[in-house]
């Protein structure tokens, strides 16, 4: 289940070869995400892109970003 409140942040890291990245919330918390979480379907996103996103409970017991959308 995703959080109800959209969050704002910036892409902090993205490895195109692995499809893995992190987004840093405006409050400073980082959340990992997979390229399939990018809403527009491009499967890639540039570092420093401002985004909105939601968080969900991940498979390894920590929060992950989903519905990553450039602002």
Domains, the chain, in order of start with CATH, read 7-70 (2.40.50.140)
- The strand order across the sheet containing 50-57 reads 30-34, 20-25, 7-15, 50-57, 63-70
Q: What is the pTM of this model?
A: 0.89
Q: Which two tokens stand for residue 8?
A: 């704002």
Over residues 44-71, the pLDDT tens digits come to 999 999 999 999 998 888 899 999 999 9
Over residues 17-52, the pLDDT tens digits come to 999 999 999 899 999 999 999 999 999 999 999 999
Residue 50 CA to residue 47 CA, distance in Å, equals 9
CA distances from residue 47 to 22, 38, 44, 54 in whole angstroms, order as listed: 9, 13, 10, 18
């Amino acid at each position: 289940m995703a959080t109800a409140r959209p969050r704002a942040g910036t892409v902090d890291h993205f490895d195109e070869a692995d499809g893995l990245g992190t987004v840093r919330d405006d409050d400073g918390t980082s959340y990992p995400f997979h390229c399939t979480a990018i809403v527009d379907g491009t499967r890639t996103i540039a570092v420093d892109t401002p985004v909105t996103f939601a968080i969900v409970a991940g498979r390894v017991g920590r929060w992950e970003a989903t519905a990553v959308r450039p602002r």
